[in-house]
Amino acid sequence: MIKEKFGKVINMEEKCGIAKDVTEVIGNTPMVYLNNVVDGCVARIAAKLEMMGPCSSVKDRTAYSMIRDAEEKGLISPGKNILIESTTENTGIGLAFIAAAKGYKLILVMPSDVTLERKMVVLAFGAELHLIDPAKGTKGIHDEANEIMKKTPNGYVFNQSENPANPKIHYETTGPEIWKATGGKVDILVAAVGTGGTVTGAGHFLKEKNSEIKIYGVEPAESAVLNGGNPGPHKILGIGAGIIPKVLDTKLLEEVIQISSDEAIETAKLLALKEGLLVGISSGAAAAAIKLAKRPENAGKLIAGFTVVFPSIGERYLSSVMFDSIRAEIYGVEPAESAVLNGGNPDISSNEVIETAKLLALKEGLLVGISSGAAAAAAIKLAKIPENAGKLIAVVFPSTGERYLTSVLFDSTRAEAENMTID
């Protein structure tokens, strides 16, 4: 129990317990109503904040499920197998932090035009990264991964677009979480389609609970293949791969709503300005939920009449077109120097702090900030003192490492990511 300043008592017992490792805190992300971007809507929109997961995207679930499934089938084990995957978005990051925590070597293939943040984060987790010409498309990325597989003894490719473990985790977790959070009152699920795992798995679960629930997909208007159009370039990173993924159950979908790149970007900006939600570009496809919420036939829907999944955090898109104007504004100001890196603790050097933060990513799958490195370094020193034998030391990691991508913590990683060449 925690007693606040004015006497209010908060029960925190349900949130107690220490996870065995970072994989145990995947899932159970919160839902929140949208209140200030819903002018003209006749139904309420509740967003599931997948960026609140340990590595800030819905793909934390997918990566965990695919690794767990392969392990349970005896197909992979740490120290024996090398994991390989082609990805254009957050699946690579999900695989990277779990591979680091479990002790796997990971090889990722990405198009060279993915954001700098994505490259830096997977490198920080110790993954080997191969970049290819984005003009080769999704097929080219997959082909490169398969070529690497042929040359890699004990290599294992997940192939997320065809892997049943992808939608399975959303049937087991995302769908039930939405059902529970809404008290079974959800009427419509809206999810942007990348591999289709989220909308298929969660959609099937919700349909089984209530056959009247309607499931909507979202795709880029510029690459509307699910609506019978041709693949094309767009700016909504993480969805609209230009193919119909094999794990996607198209029969489940009431409709696939087309959203332009500009609509997605502007909606994502509004979510930050009006709702305090810094989300990624694919979360900007919430524009589809807003469109649905304005349809007269949906008036009077119960509480969480619409549920939209916000798949990733906005800090992963800081070098993208979404933040062009803000980045230009920041770069016009010279930052002040600050030498306070270790919280005033003279026993821990700045280098120790930075190296500890790096090790937390490489060995524990925890991408933390510089101050978290200081806390961890201090805790490790305390844990080595003989009089603390058998004691449990709790340490607070105050912030995510993605907030430090331009700092000294990531100097070498940033240099590597910026100077990578296409295979």
Closest to 200 (Cα-Cα) out of 256, 244, 138, 251: 251
Q: At what angle do helices 91-102 and 350-364 cross, to 10 degrees?
A: 100
- Asked if 219 and 193 count as a contact pair (C-beta separation under 8 A), the reply is yes
Q: Within 10 Å of residue 134's Cβ, how many Cβ atoms?
A: 17
Catalytic residue among 48, 56, 57, 59: 59
- Tokens 């798995």 appear where? 201
Long-range contacts of residues 152-156, Cβ cutoff 8 Å, at least 24 apart: 152/82, 152/84, 152/107, 153/82, 154/80, 154/81, 154/82, 155/81, 155/82, 155/83, 155/84, 155/107, 156/70, 156/75, 156/76, 156/81, 156/82, 156/83, 156/84
- Tokens 């899932």 appear where? 27
Spatial distance between the Cα atoms of 84 and 154, rounded to a whole number of angstroms: 10
User: Residues with Cβ < 8 Å from 187, sequence gap 6 or more?
Assistant: 43, 212, 213, 214, 298, 301, 302, 304, 305, 306
- Tokens 């049943």 appear where? 164
Kind and range of the H or E element at 31? strand 31-33
- With H, G, I as helix, E, B as strand and everything else as coil, classify residue 215: strand
- Asked if 131 and 423 count as a contact pair (C-beta separation under 8 A), the reply is yes
b/e 170-182 (16+ beta carbons within 10 angstroms → b): bbbbbbbbbbebb
Task: Tell me the Cα Rg of the chain.
Answer: 22
Q: Within 10 Å of residue 242's Cβ, how many Cβ atoms?
A: 17
- Asked if 287 and 257 count as a contact pair (C-beta separation under 8 A), the reply is no
- Asked if 139 and 159 count as a contact pair (C-beta separation under 8 A), the reply is no
β-sheet bridge partners, residue 156: 83
Catalytic residue among 282, 283, 319, 320: 282
β-sheet bridge partners, residue 32: 47
Catalytic: 59? yes
**Catalytic (active-site) positions:** 59, 282
